[in-house]
A and B are shown apart, each in its own frame.
Chain A
């Protein structure tokens, strides 16, 4: 055989050996595939798209705390409180927004709903929702707090429930709507109209009187909540929104505004939402929500697993405007440290505060104390109570105390 033929033959023999190896019945490495990291969900195709997203099923315990003082008799009367102990940032997810209702959530068809503006106006007007949606709108981030928030903190014994079950009748969202002044001017409101009567389309037809100064200041006819249309339980299709004022006055499911010369003295500004004083009289028309803060973590019902570094965090707000500072105490108010405030300083909005804390394992009492831009300071619980009759249930902005035991269990205390 020639040298060239020998080389070619060798190549062919070697190739045949390789090809022969590849077509043999078993693979050269019969053991299992190399052990690669990969959880079960990494090995299967994921779920398809959905039209409206939901939280993880593993977050199912994060839900509102529902209170129904009349039980099954009136299952939609009462409140559903935001689980602030489980939330972060300052925006309340819309599905966890607090809800205070007097007769449940009405099922309103936006095509049929109307807003009537009448009374001391030159031109009484009716608006459809579609027409309202065509007006220029403004967007602002504001808290809304029920005047009755934290009244569970006024019970004789401190309730051993999560922070949200006591202080969760408040939320903060981005609201988009029409300045109320625009619609009042379109109707030609009289210069002598000093008040408005705002009324909702719930079956209770909840109504409140609003001073005209607020109407012309920062009152909104809101249609959007965190970018989407209002949720039904938060007022769909249109609500009044009065930044910084007691939540009841931000009338949901708004159906009527009447311009009047005086307050109407509705049931919800006489028999309710008035603040009884020790001498038997009661304050009426107490609108602005006071400066307030609450530590959301660590808070009541939680457990710190071991001594070490933790972050104390919570929320602060004021109906008067911006929060100027939040101080935190870990010794029941004997000494205070300024916490860090996160994010933009928006007026009448939640702000989040944070303070790193080295827990030594000894018992501690955690408190936060907010000061607002008007210099007002969140009061001690005892000082708040001293101002009112024993059955006060509104405007409780007093300092909240969480005790950390040596075992790490966090409980609600009065301090």
Chain B
């Protein structure tokens, strides 16, 4: 007579291994560089457009052109009000819906040869500069964790969500 083997594992329904290790808040903070439109997670620091021009001229101009005109990299300025025309010009100023995305993107990706190198103040300042070039904030407006999410971009209402997708 066979005796059942108590140590046998079932195949196909076994639990996965669970090999993740716990992470503390301090470590997570070093990784979590995403900024949603609410501004949650924006760090301490601040900057104005006037300060941002110094940063821009040193670290951004060689690719993005004087005053964000573009060439060879994308233009940052211009095109506000052209989106419904036959020649739409899509820049930070004319197309981006949220100023917080500009902070998020500059911090994680720019300058393209040395990302994650700018200080928080520098990111706020150069963000303020690009917004000011587009006429969206004043030269001396202070961008920080409180003020940046309040900035209303010209194209804030310009997107239609396709999630969940419309019937086609």
Contacts and interface: CB of A to CB of B under 8 A. Distances in A.
B88 A265 contact: no
B96 A271 contact: yes
Given A116-B23, A116-B31, A391-B90, A281 B96 contact: no
Interface stretch (B43-51, B108-116, B132-140): B108-116
A281 B159 contact: yes
A118 B101 contact: no
B105 A266 contact: yes
A300 B88 CA distance: 31
Nearest to B30: A116
Given A124-B23, A127-B19, A282-B160, A116 B83 contact: no
Interface-central residue, A131, A255, A282, by most chain B CB under 10 Å: A282
Given A211-B163, A283-B162, A264 B88 contact: no
A127 B109 CA distance: 24
B105 A274 contact: no
User: Which of B31, B72, B88 neighbours the largest number of chain A CB atoms within 10 Å of its CB?
Assistant: B31
Given A73-B63, A285-B163, A270 B112 contact: no
A116 B14 CA distance: 24
A286 B165 CA distance: 7
A280 interface: yes
Interface residues of A, number: 63
Contacts of B3: none
Interface residues of B, number: 49
A266 B101 contact: yes
B126 interface: no
A128 B17 CA distance: 13
A186 B18 CA distance: 6
Interface string A249-293: 000000110101011111100110010111111111111100000
A267 B104 contact: yes
B96 A256 contact: no
A70 B113 CA distance: 13
A28 to B, nearest CB: 73
Nearest to B85: A280
B88 A390 contact: yes
Contacts of B78: none
B53 to A, nearest CB: 22
Contacts of A276: 83, 88, 90
A21 B2 CA distance: 82
Given A118-B28, A131-B19, A182-B16, A271 B109 contact: no
Interface string B111-127: 01001100000000000
Interface of B: 14, 16-23, 27-28, 31-37, 63, 72-73, 83-84, 86-88, 90, 92, 95-98, 100-101, 104-105, 108-109, 112, 115-116, 158-163, 165, 168
Interface of A: 70-71, 73-74, 77, 102-103, 116-118, 123-128, 131-132, 134-136, 178, 182-183, 186-187, 197, 199, 203-205, 207, 211, 255-256, 258, 260, 262-267, 270-271, 274, 276-288, 376, 389-391
